[in-house]
């Protein structure tokens, strides 16, 4: 039995004997990715529980379980965790770390020690954010956007959350930097940019956003801290400042940030679709370049968050146009995926089911986004449940669904075991039904005028909230069942072998399963396309001991 | 387990050999990484310059008036000191690359002394302003004072940006101390000087930021544009 990365590791400092310390100090990209996943999903369930608490409160009009102030803190906690602790590190931190170096034939990322440091920076930031819960006046109640001037005047504990968001931003920057250098420097010989798997393209485009957009929000939060504790007067109108400037600076990061979340997810989709269609991907270059252009255009659309905040009509029109424009490369990707499936031998395994489900949910999320890119429509729907439903369809139904798709896809790679496919499919069905039941009614409620962030509502909205509640119950059961199935798979599953899905990219050509410490036995020479299938079978075959082609 | 780099060769279908780049000893990777990090500094200060420019369009007269009260003699001296320190830093790197480790260390010491002088002068300047009642959460910058909005914002950003810049100087001094330690331990040598290279790059961005901070804060009010305010 050959040793896997679970048995041995490199450490940042020294050579500790204990297994625990080896995990704490590991610089192996696969272990770091797994640790990110463990921390992220722990927080994910905290945020899910908070959301469920809000749904419970909203089951009937009036006050049930929590008062208005607690409700404000609940949605802030939910937003801060989901955005800064879960979805921003998200797919890059987990699969970018575990899979990306394998896909390009590297032994590790370019700066493994920095990667280790970044992980602990992320943990530190998370802890600081949560210390706010025990602050004198309780957790921040500003919403995750910290809009001035309210965030400057509220008596709740905002400071730790601002500092934490800054530190988590640093972690995000360093991850992006590490991946950019890795992709530029450590690709296997012969692998040009247009021979990289599309997931690597997604990570590459994301890394640029992490690098160039995150500093802006970082400094904005520093300015907010300076304002709140040193009175520099930059965002507070009472001191001559302009709160709309805060919104601009905040969204200069936070809108590109949604592309930072979705681009690696699209990358996961671009891996799963050709693998389970047993067919070369349609329009490889258009998918790769659309990732790059989404990252570029995505920079210039932030103003659509500010249609009602006071902005020149010309600026609104330009931002509206650019927002429509950014939907085009996304549309190109969708057509490419569907064209890939056309005429393919589609295998409906669990990862493919998640990917197909996402095509539906993200299409809804994306197209409703286009409707509120229109200035007139947005003024009607701004800050309503319609917007909430839109971004949950895009973020949860897009990013997180594809994160789950990736979890099922790369599960045998990471653990060397296979989960029970039948149970995993049931979990998918529960999630998919629960998800739509939970969020679709919100489109209607929002269209009819249900505002977001209210803990009370008029009786006419009750039916929508109640359907949502039952959807939430189904959805959360699905989530728990899914993680249970994966847990059972890891513990008791059958060994999967190195390439259970008949996939073509390099991460499936490991000498042993799970992969050994330094990945491929030898670095291969890449003179093939990432998704070469012929008659439903992979074209390129390797001798895993020497990594020479034997086809 | 140790992680020494074992050079590896990949062989293509025609039997040609291709060198594989490992993450160890990747000089260009190290440089690229640090250049990328410098981009983040530019974006960070860029956002603050954006805010500064925006408020200048809102309160042009206040900005010029406030700027005319800054001490251009001390600010100018500091600019010269920082530019000279960038020179010494660069010379140090050249000496290191030429194999003159002792000369390189001398230049790093010179850079550190210049950096400390910069901080000392900055301290004198801030103190002077404090005594005129201009400091964060103090005197004229308090919310209840009737100092004009524009001047409050100007000084608020002045202290924030020069403070953040000074923080970068302090970090730089720390990095240079670390660099000296690594040189003494022979971890940084003429053959393996990526750390020296990157710290020199860092110092360049620190002085480059100042090259923009200085005119924007000190020089915009230097002329007699608003009826001859002669201070400093």
Q: What is the pLDDT of residues A129-164, one digit of tens each?
A: 999 998 888 899 999 999 988 998 888 999 999 999
pLDDT at A407: 97
What is the per-residue pLDDT for B227?
46
Q: How far apart are alpha carbons B62 and B75 in whole angstroms?
A: 20
Tokens of A407: 């979890």
Inter-chain Cβ pairs, chain A and chain B, closer than 8 A: 155
Structure tokens at A12: 């940042």
Chain B residues within an 8 Å CB radius of A516: none
B171 reaches A (C-beta below 8 A): no
CATH topology of domain A19-549: Cytochrome C Oxidase; Chain A (1.20.210)
DSSP structure string for chain B: -------EEEE-TT--EEEEPPSTT-HHHHHHHHHHHHHHHHHHHHHHHHHHHHHHHHSHHHHHHHHHTS-HHHHHHHHHHHHHHHHHHHHHHHHHHHT-HHHHHHHHHHHHHHHHHHHHHHHHHHHHHHHTTEETTEETTSTTS---HHHHHHHHHHHHHHHHHHHHHHHHHHHHHHHHHHHHTTSSBTTB-HHHHHHHHHHHHHHHHHHHHHIIIIITT-SSTTS-----
Q: Is B209 in the A-facing interface, judged by CB distances under 8 Å?
A: no
> Which candidate from A178, A211, A233 shows the least CB-CB separation from B153?
A233
Mean of the per-residue pLDDT values for chain A? Answer: 94
Residue in B with minimal Cα distance to A166: B44
- Determine the Cα angle at B157 with ends B154 and B161, to 5°: 140
Whole-number Å distance between alpha carbons of A410 and A275: 12
From B11, B32, B152, residue closest to A233, measured CB to CB: B152
Decide if B171 contacts A267 (C-beta within 8 A): no
Cβ contact A213–B58 (<8 Å): no
B3 CA to centre of own chain: 34
A279: tokens are 């067919």
For the ranges A172-176, A217-221, B135-139, the lowest mean pLDDT is seen at B135-139
Indicate yes or no: CB of A10 within 8 angstroms of CB of B142: no
pLDDT value, residue B4 = 62
Flag if B51 and A234 touch (Cβ within 8 Å): yes
Q: How far apart are CA A47 and CA A53, in angstroms?
A: 10
Fold entry, domain B57-62+71-219: 1.20.120
Q: What does the pLDDT read at residue B3?
A: 55
Contact B11 A190 (CB under 8 A): no
C-alpha–C-alpha distance, residues B180 and B198, integer Å: 14
Residues 137-156 (B) with a CB less than 8 A from some CB of A: 137, 141-143, 148-150, 152-153, 156
Q: How close is the nearest chain A Cα to the Cα of B154, in Å?
A: 9
Backbone region of residue A531 per phi and psi (left: phi > 0; alpha: psi in -120 to 50; beta: other values): beta
Q: What is the pLDDT of residues A298-352, one digit of tens each?
A: 999 999 999 999 899 999 999 999 999 999 999 999 999 999 999 999 999 999 9
Counting other chains too, the contacts that A148-152 makes at CB distance below 8 Å and 24 or more residues apart are: A148/A224, A148/A227, A148/A235, A148/A236, A148/A241, A148/A243, A148/A246, A149/A235, A149/A236, A149/A237, A149/A238, A149/A241, A149/A243, A151/A224, A151/A228, A152/A224, A152/A227, A152/A228, A152/A235, A152/A236
Best of A312, A522, A523 to mutate (most B CBs within 10 Å, chain B): A523
In chain B, the residue whose alpha carbon lies closest to the alpha carbon of A22 is: B1
Please check whether residue A231 is in contact with residue B143, taking contact to mean a CB–CB distance below 8 angstroms.
yes
Q: Residue B21: list chain A partners with CB under 8 A.
A: 185-186
* DSSP code at position A283: T
Cβ of residue B34 closer than 8 Å to a chain A Cβ: no
Among B3, B142, B156, beta carbon nearest to A234? B156
Supply the pLDDT for residue A551.
Answer: 81
User: Could you read off the pLDDT of A13-58 as tens digits, one per residue?
Assistant: 888 889 999 999 999 999 999 999 999 999 999 999 999 999 999 9
Does residue A103 contact residue A509 with C-beta atoms inside 8 Å? no
Give the model's pLDDT for residue A209. 94
User: In this model, does residue A385 exceed pLDDT 60?
Assistant: yes
Residues of B in contact with A9 (CB under 8 A): 1
With a cut of 70, list the residues of chain B below it in pLDDT: 1-5, 224-232
Instruction: Say what the ipTM of the complex is.
Output: 0.91
Residue B36 to residue A177, Cβ atoms within 8 A:
yes
Q: What is the reported pLDDT for B224?
A: 58
How far apart CA B35 and CA B27 sit, in angstroms, is: 12
- The single residue listed with the structure tokens 């463990």 is A38
Domains of chain B, residue spans: 57-62+71-219
Q: Which of B27, B33, B153 to mutate to test the interface with A (most CBs of A within 10 A)?
A: B33
Q: Cis link prior to A217 (omega < 30° from 0)?
A: no
Nearest to A219 among B20, B36, B47 (CB): B47
Q: Confidence band (pLDDT; 50, 70, 90) for A1?
A: low
Residues of B in contact with A26 (CB under 8 A): none
In the predicted model, what is the mean pLDDT of residues A216-228? 92
The tokens for B144 are: 């209840």
Domain limits, chain A: 19-549
Question: What stretches of A100-190 show up as alpha helix (H) in DSSP?
Answer: 100-103, 112-131, 150-153, 159-185
Cβ neighbours around A418 below 10 Å, total: 17
Min Cα–Cα distance to chain A from B119, Å: 21
Cβ contact, residue pair A233, B55, below 8 Å: no
């Amino acid at each position: 039995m050959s040793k896997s990365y679970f048995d041995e590791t490199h450490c940042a400092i020294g050579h500790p004997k204990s297994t625990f310390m080896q995990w704490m100090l590991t610089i192996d990209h696969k272990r770091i990715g797994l640790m990110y996943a463990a921390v992220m999903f722990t927080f994910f369930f905290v945020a899910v529980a908070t959301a469920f608490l809000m749904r419970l409160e909203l089951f009937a009009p009036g006050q049930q379980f929590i008062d208005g102030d607690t409700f404000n803190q609940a949605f802030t906690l939910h937003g801060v965790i989901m955005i800064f602790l879960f979805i921003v590190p998200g797919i890059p931190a987990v699969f970018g770390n575990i899979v990306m170096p394998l896909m390009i034939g590297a032994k590790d990322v370019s700066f493994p020690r920095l990667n280790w440091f970044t992980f602990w920076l992320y943990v530190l930031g998370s802890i600081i954010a949560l210390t706010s819960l025990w602050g004198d006046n309780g957790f921040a109640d500003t919403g995750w956007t910290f809009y001035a001037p309210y965030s400057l005047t509220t008596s709740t504990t905002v400071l730790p959350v601002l500092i934490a968001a800054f530190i988590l931003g640093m972690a995000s920057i360093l991850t992006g930097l590490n991946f950019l250098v890795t992709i530029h420097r450590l690709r296997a010989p012969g692998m040009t940019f247009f021979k990289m798997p599309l997931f690597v393209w997604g990570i590459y485009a994301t890394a640029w956003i992490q690098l160039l957009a995150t500093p802006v929000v970082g400094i904005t939060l520093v300015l907010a801290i300076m304002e709140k504790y040193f009175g520099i007067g930059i965002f507070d109108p009472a001191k001559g400042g302009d709160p709309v400037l805060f919104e601009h600076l905040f969204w200069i990061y936070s809108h590109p940030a949604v592309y930072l979340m979705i681009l690696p997810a699209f990358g996961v989709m671009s891996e799963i679709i050709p693998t389970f269609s047993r067919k070369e991907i349609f329009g490889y270059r258009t998918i790769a370049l659309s990732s790059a252009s989404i990252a570029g255009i995505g920079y210039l659309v932030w103003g659509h968050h500010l249609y009602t905040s006071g902005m020149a009509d010309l600026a609104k029109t330009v931002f509206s146009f650019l927002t429509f424009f950014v939907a085009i490369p996304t549309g190109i990707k969708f057509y490419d995926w569907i064209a890939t499936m056309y005429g393919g031998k589609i295998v409906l395994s669990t990862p493919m089911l998640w990917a197909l489900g996402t095509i539906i949910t993200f299409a809804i999320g994306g197209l409703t986004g286009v409707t509120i890119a229109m200035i007139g429509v947005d003024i009607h729907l701004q800050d309503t449940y319609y917007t909430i439903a839109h971004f949950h369809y895009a973020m949860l139904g897009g990013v997180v669904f594809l994160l789950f798709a990736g979890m099922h896809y790369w599960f045998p790679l990471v653990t060397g075991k296979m989960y029970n496919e039948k149970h995993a499919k049931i979990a998918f069905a529960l999630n998919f039904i629960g998800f739509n039941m939970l969020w679709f009614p919100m489109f209607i409620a929002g269209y009819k005028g249900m505002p977001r962030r209210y803990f009370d509502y008029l009786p006419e909205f009750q039916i929508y909230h109640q359907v949502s509640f039952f959807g939430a119950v189904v959805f959360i059961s699905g989530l728990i069942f899914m993680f249970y199935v994966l847990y059972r798979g890891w513990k008791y599953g059958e060994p999967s072998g190195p390439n259970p899905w008949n996939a073509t990219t390099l991460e499936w050509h490991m000498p042993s399963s799970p992969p050994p410490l330094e990945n491929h036995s030898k670095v291969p020479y890449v003179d093939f396309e990432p998704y070469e299938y012929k008659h439903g079978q992979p074209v390129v075959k390797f001798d895993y001991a020497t990594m020479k082609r034997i086809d | 387990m140790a992680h020494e780099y074992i050079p590896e060769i990949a062989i293509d279908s025609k039997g040609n050999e291709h060198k594989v780049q490992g993450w160890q000893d990747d000089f260009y990777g190290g440089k690229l990484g640090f250049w990328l990090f410098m981009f983040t500094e530019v974006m960070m200060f860029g956002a603050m310059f954006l805010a500064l420019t925006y408020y200048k369009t809102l309160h042009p007269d206040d900005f010029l008036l406030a700027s005319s009260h800054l001490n251009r003699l001390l600010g100018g001296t500091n600019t010269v000191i920082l530019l000279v320190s960038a020179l010494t830093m660069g010379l140090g790197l050249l000496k290191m690359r030429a194999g003159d480790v002792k000369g390189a260390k001398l230049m790093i010491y010179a850079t550190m002394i210049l950096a400390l002088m910069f901080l000392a002068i900055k301290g004198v300047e801030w103190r002077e302003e404090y005594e005129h009642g201009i400091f964060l959460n103090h005197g004229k910058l308090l919310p209840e004072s009737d100092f004009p909005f524009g001047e409050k914002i100007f000084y608020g950003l002045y202290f924030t940006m020069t403070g953040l810049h000074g923080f970068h100087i302090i970090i730089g001094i720390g990095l240079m101390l670390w660099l000296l330690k690594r040189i003494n331990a022979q971890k940084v040598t003429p053959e393996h000087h990526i750390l020296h290279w990157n710290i020199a790059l860092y110092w360049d961005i620190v002085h480059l930021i100042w090259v923009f901070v200085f005119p924007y804060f000190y020089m915009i009010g230097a002329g007699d544009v608003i009826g001859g305010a002669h201070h400093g």
